[in-house]
A = this chain, B = another copy of it.
Amino acid sequence: MTDQSDALDRAALEARGITGWPYGLEDRVRFYEIDLVRHVNNISFLRWFEVLRVRYFLDYGLSDYSHSEADPQLVVRHQTTDFLAPMHMDQRYVVAGRITLLKPTSFVLAGAVYADGVLHAQGETVVISLEQDGKSRRPHKPDAVRRIIERDDPEVQT
């Protein structure tokens, strides 16, 4: 199992003044995330949401990225992002995530980037769960569903 000891849970996020999120990661801006406008490039925020998403999937047990028949393919179908404030080189930030809507073979994962106590970007990612054939829908693993409901308190549609 992947070591998740550097992930932040609800209590750790609240200790950093970030409320309403059950899962997060802490990091800082790297040189290659800045573009020639000298701010963090928009796409770097998407990279952070991707890093968060992969770690979340592993941690909650939604996927082990094994590509075996016992594991789903989780595919991003739709993504929306608000870029609210520029960020700069070496700035520390927290990227947080929470499943807000859970359906049998899909979900909506909300995300947010906080730095210096201020929301800098937010977004939503619609993810669908497929079999390894990339076509048929596949229900989520029961243990993952249990964890999502317990930790994220999403709207559940059956």
**Chain A residues in the interface with B (C-beta under 8 A):** 2-3, 6, 28, 30-32, 34-38, 41-43, 46-47, 50-51, 54-55, 58, 65, 67, 73, 75-83, 86, 89-90, 92, 134
Contacts and interface: CB of A to CB of B under 8 A. Distances in A.
Given A36-B35, A50-B42, A51-B31, A134 B86 contact: yes
Copy tally for this chain in the complex stands at: 4
30 contacts: A2-B89, A2-B90, A3-B90, A3-B92, A6-B28, A30-B47, A30-B51, A31-B36, A32-B35, A32-B43, A32-B51, A34-B35, A35-B35, A35-B36, A36-B65, A37-B67, A42-B46, A43-B43, A43-B50, A58-B90, A65-B89, A76-B83, A77-B83, A78-B82, A79-B79, A79-B80, A79-B81, A79-B83, A80-B80, A80-B81
B41 A32 contact: yes
A119 B32 CA distance: 24
A79 B81 CA distance: 5
Interface of chain A: mostly helix, strand, loop or mixed: mixed
Contact of A31 (B35, B78, B81, B86): B35
Contacts of A92: 3
A68 to B, nearest CB: 13
Contacts of A89: 2, 36, 65
Contact of A43 (B46, B77, B90): B46
B90 A37 contact: no
